[in-house]
Structure 1
């Protein structure tokens, strides 16, 4: 019972560290405890450890392997797992990042899609544009190449999607701004849920 209490205290300390950037020997010990509990199968501990470790500068093979093992713990919440899998993909397979995030986002729950897509955007903007092109094509707005480039066709398709979803005031700020990406991704996820009627675009985008 005492050990369990120590683990929870350690987890709470690491959670605070994620927000306040705490440092020191006590935190190092707490991180070790949380990682150990996470690798032991405790999903909540694994989630906290994942968020903390990915925020650190250590990108050694050992550190990445530890994160990969934590990501495999059953029960890690999708809101954490989807973003951490994207960060792992960037660290483990940077040359295949575009392809891997497509699979990750496809498996991401709709309510977590926007945050996961934003994570991908901040890592590799071209990767996000490729995702956007594929999603807009599936919705009938885009008919150009899927190449990750912010072409005139891509911007036109995005703008028409924004107008149809009443997001024009946000999208007008620019196609590669964080707030634009978040709102676009949220609207796309809503469409995936089927809670909005899809608007099929006119030819020529």
Structure 2
């Protein structure tokens, strides 16, 4: 009998959700750990924080394992260091699915005419450059997978065509997500071997 297929997932912003309404990261970790034979790599800003340490309490199906590593989205080095740690400490050289979930939405609401440019820069740093840094770091690991996927958690607020349907005064966030949508689409077309796409969590 052939051995069961083992799938390795990496989820950024994985500790979000235990005590907040932003449950996507933690929920994804919970879902994949509930399936047999999965390796789930959860990236967090601070592995020593309570919400990060509580990830270890999530139930695991038979053969599934959890690995927690540090990635601060604004750091230009953390993702590279995380990949090195995965190789040296956990002997992981292949990742099948990467879910770029880490993001920020922390702005003063109002029209772009009143938005502090520093807020736009801060959102782009996390929501656009963060996924790019992550992609560049995990690229060699995805290339070793027979069915690689790179998934971006997008947002309807980053839709240019649908902007009139979402008239929320969140320009800094919207700009960063629109750029991230372009980024993931460009990654898809530049890498024929990779399926890369954005999903709208609603």
User: TM > 0.5 between the two?
Assistant: no
More helix by share: 1
Greater Cα radius of gyration, structure 1 or 2: 1
TM-score w.r.t. the length of structure 1 is: 0.26
More strand by share: 2
